[in-house]
Amino acid sequence: MIYTAIDTFYLTDEQLQNAPSRKDGIDEETETTLRIYGCDLIQESGILLKLPQAVMATGQVLFHRFYCKKSFARFDVKRVAASCLWLASKLEESPRKARQILIVFHRMECRRENLPIDHLDLYSKKYAELKMDLIRTERHLLKEMGFICHVEHPHKFISNYLATLETPAELRQEAWNLANDSLRTTLCVRFKSEVVACGVVYAAARRFQVPLPENPPWWKAFDAEKSGIDEVCRVLAHLYSRPKAKYIPVCKDAVSFASSNKSWDSQSQSVPKEGSLSTPLANNDTVTPKTASANAESAGSKETLLKQALDKLKESKRSDDDSKNALSEGEGRDDTGSRSKPDHRTEASGERSRDREREKERESRDRDRQKSRDRERRRDSDRERDRDETERDRDKLKERSHRSKDKAKDSGGHSDKSRHHSSRDRDRDYHTSYSSREKDRHRHHSYA
């Protein structure tokens, strides 16, 4: 069989048992629970964001691959799940904004932990920190994957396998559901998608009691082995026997999406200082006599500081009372002058209102004048245009008349020349005829 995928991320059972989470003291049961919990978050958030199933499947595969290289104790499940979904939406060409991802995960956490659903303030410090953390986790994902994020799902093989086996249509939906559930397990990093597809088809056929050809075995036509198919069915059966996965706080730097904005800001702003009264005492399991005496001395110093602060407050109160009494006496003296102040204020306000009305009237008059000026300018421009057009028409008529006269003159000159030539010819003919007659006469006289 020819493979055209770049999908080479597959691990053995020994590599999975020696995962990085084992080095941090996380057992296999806890890791399985957290894997299922993270995949549930990706599936539910994808449904709320109205993403296609391919995006959620890609996000779950990226989630499993990341935790095969990193520990659950160093990267929180919720942060990684949100980043995997965000990255998968870009890979499958159905992108969503970081704001939408954070709002959906915030709402899901409030519902899962039975907290009051409050609005995530997009201008708070909490939102800025969550967004930066989402981007940072996405960078960690790409770095661990080596920027090779190609994923091949078993879904595309299921329809082809069922069509070649000529199974009833009921098996298709059941096999599809089993393929979606298989993404909550580590099957995607242990077996190729063809083997997972064969195992899903076999489990669906067993559930509906549909016989499959065994002579020759049907799985050999799809380049699979019986041991791999049995392992897929065993893992799916174990998945359905487990209770619903819950969040287990394992990560040291866990970030909650559902903490209120006020508490987040107060936590970020509360920085303990040396010598301050609000510094909490250290909770030590073993208390030595030296520490006890030190605590007693610190308690005594705190009492003295409190007494000094109370004395200062009393003195400040006394000074405030004296100043208030002096002010009350001064106000009693100035009552006569202050009574006339409201009258002046009312008069000043009336004058201001009058001035405003006058200004408004002036502005309206100026506007009317400007409008009338604009109208007159438009009329003058229209008149000038009409004059220009009439002058142009007159010039055109004059040119036409001159042209016609020139043509007439040219035709008249030619006719005069022809007449002149014709008269000359007649005179010549007459002279020639006269001269011939005279010659005849002379000849006649000479003969006589």
Q: How confident is the model at residue 350 (pLDDT cuts 50, 70, 90)?
A: confident
The pTM is what? Answer: 0.58
Q: Which residue has the higher pLDDT, 351 or 29?
A: 29
Q: Which of 209-218, 273-282, 300-309 has the lowest mean pLDDT?
A: 273-282
Res 317: pLDDT: 63
Per-residue b or e along 83-119, where b marks 16 or more CB atoms closer than 10 Å to that residue's CB: bbbbbbbebbeeebebeebbbbbbbbbbeeeeeeeee
Of the spans 200-209, 380-389, 416-425, which averages the highest pLDDT? 200-209
Question: Is 70 exceeded by the pLDDT of residue 295?
Answer: no
Res 119: pLDDT: 86
How far, in Å, CA of 367 to CA of 429, rounded?
94
Residue pLDDT, tens place only, 33-87: 999 999 999 999 999 999 999 999 999 999 999 999 999 999 999 999 999 999 9
Question: Is 50 exceeded by the pLDDT of residue 155?
Answer: yes
How far, in Å, CA of 66 to CA of 76, rounded?
12
140 and 75 in contact (C-beta within 8 Å)? yes
Q: How far are the Cα atoms of 197, 201, 351 from residue 160, in angstroms, in the given order?
A: 10, 11, 90
Residue pLDDT, tens place only, 114-126: 888 888 899 999 9
Average pLDDT of the segment spanning 118-146: 92
Half-sphere exposure of 202 (CA within 13 A, CB side): 25
Question: Is 70 exceeded by the pLDDT of residue 246?
Answer: yes
Question: Is 60 exceeded by the pLDDT of residue 236?
Answer: yes
